A and B are shown apart, each in its own frame.
Chain A
Amino acid sequence: MAALQGSTLDAINSNQEQLLEQWIASLEANGATRNLKEQVLKQETREFLQLLSEGLQSGSGNSLAGAGWDAVRRFLEKLSSTRAQLGHDSHQTVYFIFALKGPLFALLQAHYRDDPATLAEQLWLISELLDSMGMHTIRTYQASRETVIRRQQEELLELSTPVVKLWDGVLALPLIGTLDSQRSQTVMESLLQRIVDTGSEIAIIDITGVPTVDTLVAQHLLKTVTAIRLMGADCIISGIRPQIAQTIVHLGLDLGTLTTKANLSDALKLALTRVGGDLGQRV
């Protein structure tokens, strides 16, 4: 298997300034420098070229998995996550690598002017190397974007499940907006945990602000009620709209054990008469 030659490395090292200039020009022409300070970009390109040269020198071959490319991989990972935070899209991010191809190929073309066979071989190898660097960049970029999205989703779910203490021993969960399966699950879990933490006997789930409830969500609500009873507390559902009532009835679920009230204040009234009375629940 052919390897990148020392001559190629020499060509890169002795033409650094020229490469950097052309590289930055190419980056600017393609909008990959958005929101980036000129100073930062200069520093990044210089650092990368230095790491590339060191990587080539280490003789780890042109597979990015080699130990000699550790520094390059780390640099690219850092680059992708800062780009993701700056709001660059995947194209702009990966272009950092691909924009180097043009100037580098031109340089090698001049360098191996008299040896077309070596030129083709070296071009192919350096091209493969840059491609795998691009792939690595895109992969880590994707992963950091996904981390951001996942964190936002979790934050959003937490925000949308505000369990409040209405009275000593009475918790309320006012639900607003569409309930999907995942959200109802998060809601259920955080409500159950708060019941244990606060030792509350009664939980009121108010669904006045929920426009529609599909079969899955209705089932989730009923499961929540059952789970609360198993734990030894009681649950009141308030603010059920007529359409939602129809969904629940259509499910053919046993409503004998379900306590419902028209609105939150009626539910609270009932809860207050129960607190202090006989609170043992028969499931």
Chain B
Amino acid sequence: MERIPILQMGEFLLVTIQVDMHDQLALTLQEDLTERISRISARGVLIDISALDMVDSFIGRMIASISGLSRILDAETMVVGMQPAVAITLVELGLTLPGVSTALNVERGMQVLRQRLERT
């Protein structure tokens, strides 16, 4: 079955979404990710969506769910690299992803996750 790869970097997980996702693929990613967070006791998750040229309500909901689920499992989720046109469209759609942390790119997202970890 088609799957989006999840990379492990120490206590962080990195997901780079590069394909035009259909709904089932998004749901599989959500399951895989929660399973991995729990298995390796990850402290942070970076979801890089810089290659995504569209985020609709379904993918938006998936992102919000992953963020909420990871928080329960004691990991912080960062969504990084959202394109301007995608951000404008999401806001227009009415999906503002409250509670989801964001950063400009993977490097910045990683930096922020580390800083937050140091504080706790």
Contacts and interface: CB of A to CB of B under 8 A. Distances in A.
Contact of B105 (A188, A193, A199, A230): A199
Nearest to B90: A230
A192 B84 contact: yes
Contacts of A223: 88, 91-92
Contacts of B103: 232, 279-281
Given A231-B102, A231-B104, A280 B84 contact: no
A199 B111 CA distance: 14
A189 B84 contact: yes
Interface string B76-102: 001111111001101110001111111
Given A229-B102, A278-B116, A283 B96 contact: yes
Given A201-B104, A279-B108, A283-B99, A188 B88 contact: yes
Where chain B touches its partner, the secondary structure class is mixed
Contacts of A278: 112, 115-116
Contacts of B104: 195-196, 199, 201, 231-233
B99 A282 contact: yes
Contacts of B81: 232
Report the interface size class on chain A: 20 to 34
A201 B103 CA distance: 9
Given A199-B108, A280-B108, A280-B116, 20 more contacts: A195-B84, A196-B104, A201-B104, A201-B108, A227-B84, A227-B90, A227-B91, A230-B97, A231-B82, A231-B84, A232-B79, A232-B82, A232-B104, A280-B102, A280-B109, A280-B113, A281-B101, A282-B99, A283-B96, A283-B102
Given A192-B84, A278-B115, A283-B101, A226 B96 contact: yes
Nearest to B60: A230
A172 to B, nearest CB: 17
Where chain A touches its partner, the secondary structure class is helix
Contacts of A279: 103, 108, 112
Nearest to A199: B104
Given A195-B104, A223-B92, A226-B96, A231 B115 contact: no
A230 B87 contact: yes
27 contacts: A189-B84, A196-B84, A199-B104, A201-B104, A201-B108, A223-B88, A223-B91, A223-B92, A226-B96, A227-B87, A227-B88, A227-B90, A228-B87, A230-B79, A230-B82, A230-B90, A231-B102, A232-B79, A232-B81, A278-B115, A278-B116, A280-B101, A280-B102, A280-B113, A281-B102, A282-B100, A283-B96
Nearest to A225: B91
